[in-house]
Structure 1
Amino acid sequence: MWWLIAAVGLGIPLVVTAMPEFGMFAVGAVAGAVVAALGGGTVPQVLVFVLVSVALIAVVRPIAARHRQQRPQLASGVDALRGRQAVVLERVDGSGGRIKLAGEVWSARTLDGDQVYEVGRQVDVVEIDGATAVVI
């Protein structure tokens, strides 16, 4: 019974702090409860708790760390607009203009202030600066 209470007690900080180690200790406590239900003594219960908890931390924690470090491969928002092509709707130069990008009309300016793009020309979006597309 005490092992199940410990498992619940360890589950609470897991939810509050989002630290997966508490969940691994809770699973170890459940394993200790199983040993107790099978009639194991105090020493085997504690050993099973420690072994299961340490094994989970040793195996699961490095896998979780690798997944946390990976960046998502799918770009969204303005990041998805970089590198896309657009069509010039109004003359675009270093001070401004308009383009049609991804079905929407955007204000735009050239990356090189001396460059000028006329209506109908296709341009590439280099970056998004606020609500302005920077094009080449």
Structure 2
Amino acid sequence: MPWFVWLLAAAALGAAEFFTLTLVLGLLAGAAVVAAVVAGVGVGFAGQIVAFAVTAAAGLLIARPLALRQLAQAPLSREGSDALIGKRAEVVREVTAAHGLIKVSGEEWSARSLDESLVIPVGAVVDVMEIEGATAVVYPRELLP
């Protein structure tokens, strides 16, 4: 029953990966599953070790770097309120450091000025610099007199 031992090892490594999220233990769990299949076919212990080692090496040397590179890339599109950052907006109600109202992408948002000394009048065009909760932090496209 060596295949059962390999499956137990795979389960233990998979559970450990769940808690560590290193992408190492999960690949070793996959290699243990391959070794369990090889053991189930009837290959001897040396063949099981070779199958485990080759699969683990392939995973760690090929699959892991590809997966890490993919995880490091920024998402192609922003969603939700993050999609508003960098957009132009029009001031609907005067914007100060404490309060105001803008219209961006067809929606009205509460807003405040990025520069606490600025008061942005109604009708001014602003850029959304960041979103803090339900408030857009804005800065005018053209400096005000």
Q: Which residue of 1 aligns with 2:139?
A: 135
- 1:52-72 deviations in whole A, cap 9, x for unaligned? 111111111111110121112
Q: Which residue of 1 aligns with 2:127?
A: 125
SS in 2 for 1:72: coil
The reply to whether residue 71 of structure 1 matches residue 74 of structure 2 is yes
With 66-75 and 125-134 compared, the bigger mean Cα shift is at 125-134
TM-score (norm 1): 0.74
1:108 shift after superposition:
3.8
Q: Which residue of 2 aligns with 1:80?
A: 83
Structure 1 unaligned regions, length at least 5:
none
Distance 2:18 2:98 in 1: 52
State, as a whole percentage, how many aligned pairs show the same letter.
31
1:24/1:122 CA distance change after superposition, 3 Å = same
1:34/1:125 CA distance change after superposition, 3 Å = same
1:41 shift after superposition:
1.5
**Residue from 30, 46, 52 that aligns with 1:27:** 30
With 123-132 and 93-102 compared, the bigger mean Cα shift is at 93-102
Structure 2 unaligned regions, length at least 5:
141-145
Pairing of 1:1-136 with structure 2 (within 5 A): 1-92=4-95, 97-102=100-105, 103-109=107-113, 113=117, 117=121, 119=122, 121-128=123-130, 130=132, 131=135, 133-136=137-140
- 1:56-106 deviations in whole A, cap 9, x for unaligned? 111111111101211123224553223322223234578865433341142
Q: Is the 8 A contact 2:99 2:110 kept in 1?
A: no
Distance 2:62 2:48 in 1: 21
Distance 1:39 1:110 in 2: 69
1:115/1:49 CA distance change after superposition, 3 Å = same
Superposed CA RMSD in Å reads 2.9
SS in 2 for 1:48: helix
